[in-house]
Structure 1
Amino acid sequence: MDIKAFLQCKKLRRSHRLEAKENSGTQTEKMKLGSLGHFSVLPLELKFFILRYLTVEDLSILTITSKAMRNLIEGYRVLMPLIPSDLMKRLHITKTSQAFPHDKQKAFLDTFYRLGLLTKRSTCLYATRDRLKFVNEILTKMMCNNSDCDNLTQCMSLACFGKFLHTVIAGWDDSECQRTYDAIAHHTCLLKNVKLVINSKPGTHVQTEHEVRTFLRRVILDHCQSIVDRAFWLGRILKPWPMVHQARILFLLYGPEINGEIQWYEFCVSTPVNPEQSAKHFGELANAVQILHGYRREWTEDDIISILDELTNSPEEWMAENVAHLFILCGDVITSKMLISKAINGRTVELSTITTSFCVVCVKNSFSLSYVLGMIHNIIGAMDKPKDRLHYLNSLMDMFRELILDLHEFSDQEDGRENDMYYMVTALSEFTKKIVVLAFKNMLTS
């Protein structure tokens, strides 16, 4: 008879070494079976506590190691806000704070780039609607009208959100980006403010104009990584509106601005005094037109011509020299298309005015008048009848005469434009030299 039958409570004799080895093996198997390895053994609170000591870059990299790790970090991101409230407050400019230096601005943008990258990776399996919901939550916290921001011009909040947004949506297809713009526009009442501005007299709502310009540029446009991206987002902003309003919005975005006030009538009453001011006033507008012209998926030649035509008459007709400045900066292709369109439509007087202004701009900026001769050649080539060509050339010389007489009669030494007469006469002289050389070219080369 087995004695163990009478000793039910007595443990079997066994080596402690073997028991420890068996327990260790079992625990190791459990860890191997866990989706997070040895990290699976820790309770959730301790996992989150450890994650607090990791940088945003480390968290971002961990999200792409496994689905389980991504889920863990996403839970941590939701429960533990990655953008502290004190950081939000530091982005805004109050009455007691000063403007941020350049290195500080760069540091803020880098921070939100990393946060955007983490958000992009941790929400990669979410539906677009859910991802946009989180983006709008961040936007709500960062909007200047939801905080004590006293200087929208120097505030970093919208610029940082723009960096965050473009990092999150990088690589999204066009339909998802369209949904992004629609969601943000709806969330911020952007379209309502744009409608208010374009349906009112320019300068009526100065603060709203400045807010719309700042929001669209810092959130939507300034962080585009390529020309194609900028063209796409410009299309989202402009396409819902009629052509006349598209030109108005384009000026709202890139027209000259002083102390938060858009200078709507600047090009109607004055001209740049030097090349630097010319580039400052017209450079961004011309660049925007070039970007739209290069994006053939949405913009045709006729669209660009119509926008330029509306732009140079908004809010009133621009001075001819300013039109010439803009056309020159837009490039030869766009300028030729624009002038040929005017020639076909019989706008001879307008063409002669712009051509004389081309000459003045070239003299002021030390450009070669060969550019003007090329434009004249294109204009004449677009005219079918010799009579129209002769009329254009005669109008061109008559326009020089009228402008010189007007300057002589109405110029005022006190307005600081005493050099205008010099530039006009020099332009006529240089233009005449070019024409004479062409007229007697055979005799001069023989």
Structure 2
Amino acid sequence: MPHTRGLLGNSRRSAKCRRVDKVVSSLVTTTMGKRTCRSYGPQTQQARLLKNQPVRTVMTRSHGTSGPSFFHRLPIEVLHMILDRLSLLEISVLSMVSKEITKHILDYISSQKWRNKTIIQSFHPSACPEQKPIVEHYRHLGLLYKRCTLLIPTKDRLKLIFSKFSQIPCFMLEQCLVPGCTAFVSFGVFLKTLIAGWDELESHRVFSCLCDFTNLMQKTEGIITAKPGVKVHQELQLRLFCRCVLLDPWVNQPERQFWLTQLLKPWPMVSQAHLLFILYGPLQPGGILGWQDVVDRALTPGSLWGLAQAISILFSKPEVKGWTTHLMFSIVMELTAVPEPWHLENLARFLLLCGNNVSYTVLASKALFGHVAEVSRLIIYIILVCEKDGYQMSWAVNIVQQIFKMFSTATERFFFIQHLENSFSQITRETFESIAEDWAEDRESFQTLFVLLECNARFHTKFLHTLLK
């Protein structure tokens, strides 16, 4: 009976409340009606328009609230339970509703519990056979941090974010020794999502902050000042970090050029060449940098593609970043002498992959410095690579024509052509002599001799045809 009495009491109070609401509504209507009747002219028209407008039911940010919001009335534990039910994308959208909600979400994602559950993931292949879900998770995480820290100054938001990531060993240089760890890839996707659309000044701050938290500059200095190949593990760690976090996530050349420039410009020319080789140099099957391979033997066509692409990116818009033609020649010369002067076929293939502009700059600069014999030998190897790799011989002919026209006098031009013909004969003789030393085992050199004779005939056919036109 007490329970029944309580229900009856509630129903009575509800009926009473409805009656009160009805009376108040009637009074308001009557009052408004009186005001409307007493109004004349434009005021009457304005009152009618206001009466016909729909009642505002949603409070926007601009209107504000005088009392505590719904989130203030919720216990913090309940709010966190609600956020626990949402995905990262849903939380990131929710953070854009208002400043107050953004503050609550920032408090939520700053908790140790959330960090342990969301930021710390298993990046090792044995624990995570599929890499894609982890990468997507960090893309969504980057979007969340991008949105919920939008109103915080750049320096403070970077400090907030990097302080979280620096506590995880897999994200730091030389801290994780597990092969195949995907932490750097995940970090790169996160960082790209976070800073996409930022201007160059903010990107400078990102690089500076990243260097502070990872000691990137100090670790780089210790590696590039050492003898090539001595710090094997550190070289690979630096390569993976810079490529996965800063360079490879960006598809567009301007962004890659920016980050590559930031990595190179603090160092002198020799160290820049050393660092470029670490970042993009050919790898042996075991994953070790092939420092000596570029010196001792001719490499496959794809081995030098990464280095050539790096040079193309670096000098894609030299006038914007201050990379002059002289600087281009210097850095290519330093690079192709690390750790010692490269095998001429590797140098020729590298120049061919870099494109016409770089090739002509290097060959013309060498010729102007008086190294005509060296240029002639290099051109012969360029012709050889064109034949081996399937490039059109007209490309080599055009290069020869450009170098030929560079000389101002007829004597210098004849001298250049004479050196070119002598180089053909000399390289053919050297190849034959290397075959004669060990005919049975040196089948590769024997094949090179035939290719050299074929490209000699093909080049001169094209060259004479061009001159006789």
SS of the aligned residue for 2:97 comes to coil
Query: Does structure 2 retain, via aligned residues, the 8 Å contact 1:88–1:157?
Result: no
Residue 6 of structure 2 is matched in structure 1 by none
Pair 1:70 & 2:102 matched: yes
Q: 1:279-300 CA deviation, whole Å, 9 max, x = no partner?
A: 2x11111111111111332122
Q: Which residue of 452, 455, 461 corresponds with 1:424?
A: 452
Residue 208 (structure 1) aligned with residue 234 (structure 2)? yes
Inter-partner Cα distance in structure 1 for 2:173 and 2:375: 51
Are 1:389 and 2:413 matched, yes or no? yes
Question: For residue 292 of structure 2, what is the amino acid of its counterpart?
Answer: Y
**Contact 2:95–2:101 (Cα < 8 Å) also in 1:** yes
Whether 2:78 is the aligned partner of 1:52: answer no
Mapping 1:70-219, distance limit 5 Å: 70-79=102-111, 81-84=113-116, 88=120, 90-93=122-125, 97=126, 104-144=130-170, 149-152=176-179, 154-219=180-245
For residues 260 and 366 of structure 1, do their structure 2 counterparts lie closer, same or farther at Cα, with a shift above 3 Å needed? Answer: closer
* Residues 1:17 and 2:15 are matched in the alignment: yes
Deviation at 1:395, TM superposition (A): 0.8
TM-score by length of 2: 0.81
Quick one: which amino acid aligns to residue 235 of structure 1? T
Letter in 2 for 1:435: F
Query: What does the per-residue CA deviation read over 1:216-256, in whole Å, with 9 as the maximum and x for residues that have no partner?
Result: 11111111242110000000000111112111111110001
**CA displacement at 1:414 relative to structure 2:** 2.2
Are 1:398 and 2:422 counterparts?
yes
Give the superposition deviation at 1:339: 1.9
Taking a change above 3 Å as real, the CA distance of residues 22 and 237 of structure 1, as seen in their structure-2 partners, is farther
**Letter paired with 1:342:** K
| Structure 1 match to 2:375 | 351
Q: Provide the residue aligned with 1:294 in structure 2.
A: 316
1:45 is displaced (CA, Å) by 2.3
Q: C-alpha offsets along residues 305-341 of structure 1, whole Å, 9 cap, x if unaligned?
A: 2111111111111111111111111111222222222
Hey, what's the Cα distance between the residues in 2 that align with 1:16 and 1:428? 104
1:438 matched residue in structure 2 = 466
The letter for the 2-side match of 1:383 is F
Q: Contact between 1:35 and 1:68, CA under 8 Å: does it hold in 2?
A: no
Q: In structure 1, what is the Cα distance between the partners aligned to 2:165 and 2:13?
A: 64
Secondary structure of residue in 1 paired with 2:144: helix
5+ residue gaps in structure 2? 1-11, 25-55, 60-64
User: Is 2:407–2:413's contact at 8 Å kept on the other side of the alignment?
Assistant: yes
For 2:399 and 2:330, how far apart are their aligned partners in 1? 19
Mapping 1:369-380, distance limit 5 Å: 369-380=393-404
> Normalising by structure 1, what TM-score?
0.85
Contact 2:329 2:362 in 1 (8 A): yes
2: distance between equivalents of 1:337 and 1:147? Answer: 39
TM-superposed deviation, 1:118: 0.2
Q: Partner of 1:269 in structure 2?
A: 296
Which is worse superposed, 246-255 or 166-175? 166-175
Which of these two proteins has the greater Rg computed from alpha carbons? 2
**Alpha carbons of 1:373 and 1:16: their partners in 2 closer, same or farther (altered >3 Å)?**
closer
Displacement of 1:385 = 2.3
What one-letter code is carried by the residue in structure 2 that aligns with 1:282? L
- Tell me by how many angstroms 1:105 deviates: 1.4
Question: Is the 8 Å Cα contact of residues 297 and 343 (structure 2) preserved in structure 1?
Answer: yes
Structure 1: 5+ residue runs without aligned partners? 1-13, 442-446
Q: For 1:73 and 1:86, how far apart are their aligned partners in 2?
A: 14
Contact 2:169/2:176 (8 A) holds in 1: no
2:386–2:393: 8 Å Cα contact kept in structure 1? yes
Q: Secondary structure at the match of 2:122?
A: helix
In the TM superposition, what is the alpha-carbon distance from 1:81 to its structure 2 partner? 4.7
Deviation at 1:380, TM superposition (A): 1.2
Deviation at 1:30, TM superposition (A): 13
Contact 1:113 1:163 in 2 (8 A): yes
- The answer to whether the 8 Å contact 1:132/1:183 transfers is yes
Whole-Å separation in 2 of the counterparts to 1:387 and 1:286: 35
What is aligned with 2:3? none
Q: Is the 8 A contact 2:174 2:237 kept in 1?
A: no
- C-alpha distance in 2 between matches for 1:262 and 1:342: 28
Letter in 2 for 1:332: N
User: Could you tell me how far apart the structure 2 residues matched to 1:35 and 1:76 are?
Assistant: 23
Distance 2:267 2:174 in 1: 31
The change in CA–CA distance for 1:44 and 1:82 in structure 2 (over 3 A counts) is closer
**Structure 1 residue 142: Cα displacement:** 3.3
Q: Contact 1:143–1:157 at 8 Å: present in 2 too?
A: no
**Residues 369 and 76 (structure 1), Cα distance of their counterparts in 2 relative to 1, 3 Å cut:** same
Of 363-372 and 337-346, the range deviating more from structure 2:
337-346
